Amino acid sequence: MSLTNRILISMVAGILIGSLLNLMMHSSGLSDAFRVAVDDYLIHGLLDFVGRIFVASLKLLVVPLVLVSLICGSSSLGDSARMGPIAVKTLVFYLGTTAVAISLALVFAVFISPGSNVQLTSEALFAAKEAPPLIDVLVNIFPSNPFNALAEGKMLQIIVFALLFGYAISHAGEAGRRIASFFRDMEVIVMKMVGIMMELAPYGVFALLAKLFSTMGISAIVDLAAYFLTVLAVLLVHALVVYSLLLKFFSGLSPRILMTKMRSVWAFAFSTASSGATLPITLRTVERKMGVHNSVAGFTVPLGATINMDGTAIMQGVATVFIAQVYGVDLSMTDFVTVILTATLASIGTAAVPGVGLITLAMVLEQAGLPVEGIGLIIGVDRLLDMVRTAVNVTGDATVSAIVGKSENQLDEQVWLNPKADLEPNNDNPIEQEMPTA
């Protein structure tokens, strides 16, 4: 059975077993001692243990992979004068798709009106963390110490350093060629590590989801069904309709192929709720299954995982309208425009880890003059939505990478059209085969 299918089966099994455990833990027929034992040894024991090791091993690959991939990509592009246009195109697409996502969310939320029948309860307590000023966010992109950036996993700083390093390699003659070949070898090795990790994914995905569903409160979802379903509907429309139209229109590539190739990435995004932890898998899929050359994917995917969060923006759009409705505040046209702008910027500042979208939502609410405590209303259903919106976030990264790759002639259509790309033994690294040997 293919790895993708094994991962998808373990995902479904994790959800089912987790839900069964949840029911079991709340049923009155079992003794307290048994329940405590299941909770201690299985849910917060074995499942927690396996899940945490799995996430840690994914995160372990992120910094080396981003560094090495970007250096390879930018060093092969450095002297072709394409770096600038690729960067501009990618940024325009990332910001543009986020603005579309949030606008769609606002339209749906105003139309469906999920907050109109919700009574304000005293539970709405949320202590917002202060969001850093925008200027600091921008200045912080530039590292003063690259080793510090690497050690702390500061993604945008790593991206800036790697781009500069790769660019310098491409202009450094013989020394540059030697170092470039070292990094190309490193990339093959780090990608191999990603492949090894993927083999363990069925266990990790199962453990994460079984633990999560066994401890998740379902009642909050029932209470907030209108909000929950509105966010879910917009996420699905954006992922399935908007991305498909964009891909078809800007590149002529088949959306169905993109969706099929994304299945295992979705399982990672859904179970970890972190586009950062999913990054190694997204990058491997975009390069090896979709055939986008490393010179584009090495830049677009890490950048996307860091700044492109369409799913998060959708949640923020619906949440803003929902909170305004619950508190009985009318939003003006100016408020809507403010929300679109701030949520697009907030998406850049949202770290690619679970739950951060809720923190940057505070910034959006403040700009729209809404009470930040409103976040307390939706916190109960956020984890499940976080999982789905993370899957949307990574789909956006892959879609834009394919569009930019195709437009730059850096997408190998044979790999794109091959449903088994990445699985064939002799097709281990189609990208690498095209690379000039030093």
Write b or e for each residue in 141-160: b if 16 or more Cβ atoms lie within 10 A of its Cβ, otherwise e. eebeebeebbeeebbbbbbb
Q: Kindly indicate which of the ranges 84-92, 228-236, 267-275, 407-415 contains the residues binding ligand ASP, using the contact rule CB under 6 A.
A: 267-275
Looking at beta carbons only, is 258 or 358 nearer to ligand ASP?
358
- Binder of ligand ASP out of 389, 403, 408, 431 (CB under 6 A): 389
- Of 90, 300, 312, 395, the one binding ligand ASP (CB under 6 A) is 312
Residue 309 found at the interface with ligand ASP (CB under 6 A): yes
Q: What is the dihedral of CA 157, 66, 302, 8, to 10 degrees?
A: -140
Residue 274 makes contact with ligand ASP by CB under 6 A: yes
Here the contacts of 137-143 (C-beta below 8 Å, separation 24 or greater) are: 137/348, 137/349
Segment 227-230 long-range contacts (CB within 8 Å, at least 24 positions apart):
227/114, 227/115, 227/118, 227/318, 227/319, 227/322, 227/378, 227/381, 228/381, 228/384, 228/385, 229/114, 230/108, 230/109, 230/112, 230/114, 230/318, 230/322
CB of 387 to ligand ASP, least distance (A): 8
Q: Find the shortest distance in angstroms from Cβ 375 to ligand ASP.
A: 12
CB of 25 to ligand ASP, least distance (A): 26
CB of 254 to ligand ASP, least distance (A): 26
Given 103, 170, 214, 275, the residue binding ligand ASP (CB under 6 A): 275
Q: Which stretch binds ligand ASP (CB under 6 A): 42-50, 114-122, 158-166, 386-394?
A: 386-394
CA distance linking residue 25 with residue 7, whole number of Å: 26
Residues 318-357 that bind ligand ASP (CB under 6 A): 350, 352-357
Q: Check if the beta carbon of residue 323 is closer than 8 Å to that of residue 377.
A: yes
- Interior/surface letters 301-319, b for 16+ CB within 10 angstroms, e for the rest: bbbbbbbbbbbbbbbbbbb
Of the ranges 78-86, 160-168, 242-250, 269-277, which one interacts with ligand ASP (CB under 6 A)? 269-277
Phi-psi region of 141 (alpha: psi -120 to 50; beta: other; left: phi over 0): alpha
Minimum CB–partner distance for residue 353 and ligand ASP (Å): 6
Contacting residues for 379 by C-beta, under 8 A, at least 6 apart? 126, 358
Query: Closest approach of Cβ 178 to ligand ASP, in Å?
Result: 37
- Binding ligand ASP (rule: CB under 6 A), the pick from 287, 335, 386, 397 is 386
Q: Which stretch binds ligand ASP (CB under 6 A): 49-57, 169-177, 291-299, 382-390?
A: 382-390
Give the C-alpha separation, 438 to 433, whole Å.
13
Q: Taking CB under 6 A as the rule, does residue 390 contact ligand ASP?
A: yes
């730059």: which residue's tokens?
A: 408
Nearest residue to ligand ASP on Cβ basis: 357
Q: Kindly identify the residues of this chain, within the stretch 65-84, that bind ligand ASP according to CB under 6 A.
A: none
- Min dist CB 271 to ligand ASP, Å, is 12
Residue among 112 and 279 whose Cβ is closer to ligand ASP:
279
Under the criterion CB under 6 A, does residue 399 sit at the interface with ligand ASP?
Answer: no
Nearest to 318 by CA among 331, 302, 303: 331
Smallest gap from residue 105 Cβ to ligand ASP (A) = 13
| CB-CB contact of 128 with 372 (8 Å) | yes
Nearer to ligand ASP, 242 or 343 (CB): 343
| Nearest partner of 2 among 256, 284, 202, judged by Cα | 202
The residues in 209-228 that bind ligand ASP, with binding defined as CB under 6 A, are: none
Torsion from C-alpha of 406, 408, 413, 419, nearest 10 degrees: -50
Q: What is the DSSP letter of 273?
A: -
**DSSP letters for 338-359:** HHHHHHHHHHHHS-SSTTHHHH
Cα–Cα dist 433/225, whole Å: 51
Q: Which is nearer to ligand ASP, 273 or 326 (CB)?
A: 273
Given the complex with ligand ASP, which of 98 and 390 has the nearer CB atom? 390
* Binding residues for ligand ASP, total number by CB under 6 A: 17
Residue 342 or 393 with smaller CB distance to ligand ASP: 393
98 binding ligand ASP? (CB under 6 A): no
Interface region with ligand ASP, contact rule CB under 6 A, candidates 223-231, 233-241, 270-278, 337-345: 270-278
d(CA 235, CA 422): 29
CA gap 278, 251 in Å, rounded: 25
Q: Which residues bind ligand ASP (CB under 6 A)?
A: 273-276, 309, 312, 350, 352-357, 386, 389-390, 393
